[in-house]
Amino acid sequence: MKRLILFIGTLSLLLAGCSTSTPAPTATPTAVSTVAAPTPAASLTATPLQMSLRVKDEIVNCRFGPGINYVTVNELHQGQSARVTGRIDSSDWLYVRDPGNPGGFCWLSASVIELDGQADLLPVMPPPFVTVTDVSLRADPTRILVNCSQFPQTVFFEAEVTTNGPTLMTWTWEASTGAMSDVGTMVFERAGTQLLNEFYPVGAPNEYWVKLHILTPNILEKQVSFPVSCTQ
């Protein structure tokens, strides 16, 4: 029995010595490309075309818009220079950086300047949006004191309306009595001030007010109050 066990052990050793172990497959290293990925081209920001001008007249007006019907925002003098960034379609007026207002712009007539390039190459700029820049309102009389038998009384109102260019203005009047006028219109052919007039009757003592509502080209509101009282 001992010989049989010894024989089996020896046979096992011989078989183990004859078997060859298969090595685990070695991963083949992947070649790393040394070619750099293409770099996206740097984004180029187009620089707006600009030109220089020199004032040839003694004093010229730089205006809010392209035309003499716009309000003057600055004056330039002979020999003064400025940067031009645009024009109107006909190239008669040029859009320039206002030398007297950093960050501001205004319009110069091409007839009063010398340009260092072709105006037709400049971009066409739209005219500015004209607005009502100021409204003042007053009542006449500013207060009423009458005998209580003297009603009704009439109060007159006058408004001064100023724009910075040509525009069509619309408005309505509103009173504390609940009265409301129809929509009115007024044409401004140029920058400036025009008058609006209205009147309302009052039939009893009270604290009254009237409002002027500017509807276009922009929205503004002005109010004036007037006390009305009476004695027996």
Confidence band for 48, pLDDT divided at 50, 70 and 90: low
Domain limits for position 66: 51-121
Last residue of a domain, which of 77, 92, 121? 121
Helices (H), the chain: 2-18
Instruction: Map residue 7 onto helix, strand or coil.
Output: helix
Same domain, 155 and 220: yes
CATH number at residue 207: 2.60.40.10
Is 12 domain-assigned?
Answer: no
Edge-to-edge order in the sheet of strand 81-87: 72-77, 59-63, 105-109, 93-97, 81-87, 51-55, 113-115
Same domain, 162 and 85: no
pLDDT at 108 over 90: yes
CA–CA separation, 114 and 84 (whole Å): 11
Last residue of a domain, which of 121, 147, 176? 121
Average pLDDT rounded to a whole number, residues 83-107: 95
Same domain, 141 and 225: yes
Same domain, 116 and 197: no
Residue 164 burial (CB < 10 Å; 0-12/13-18/19+)? buried
Number of domains in the chain: 2
Same domain, 80 and 57: yes
Return all residues near 200 (Cβ < 8 A) that are at least 6 apart. Answer: 154, 155, 157, 175, 177, 179, 210
Please give the pLDDT value at position 214.
98
Residue with more model confidence, 111 or 41: 111
Return all residues near 115 (Cβ < 8 A) that are at least 6 apart. Answer: 51, 52, 53, 84, 94
The per-residue pLDDT of the chain, averaged, comes to 85
Average pLDDT rounded to a whole number, residues 131-147: 97
CA–CA separation, 138 and 157 (whole Å): 6
Same domain, 138 and 207: yes
Confidence band for 47, pLDDT divided at 50, 70 and 90: low
Nearest of 144, 187, 182 to residue 163 by alpha carbon: 187
Last residue of a domain, which of 97, 121, 145? 121
Confidence band for 33, pLDDT divided at 50, 70 and 90: very low
In this structure, how many other beta carbons lie within 10 angstroms of the beta carbon of residue 37? 6
Is 93 domain-assigned?
Answer: yes
Same domain, 114 and 154: no
pLDDT at 176 over 80: yes
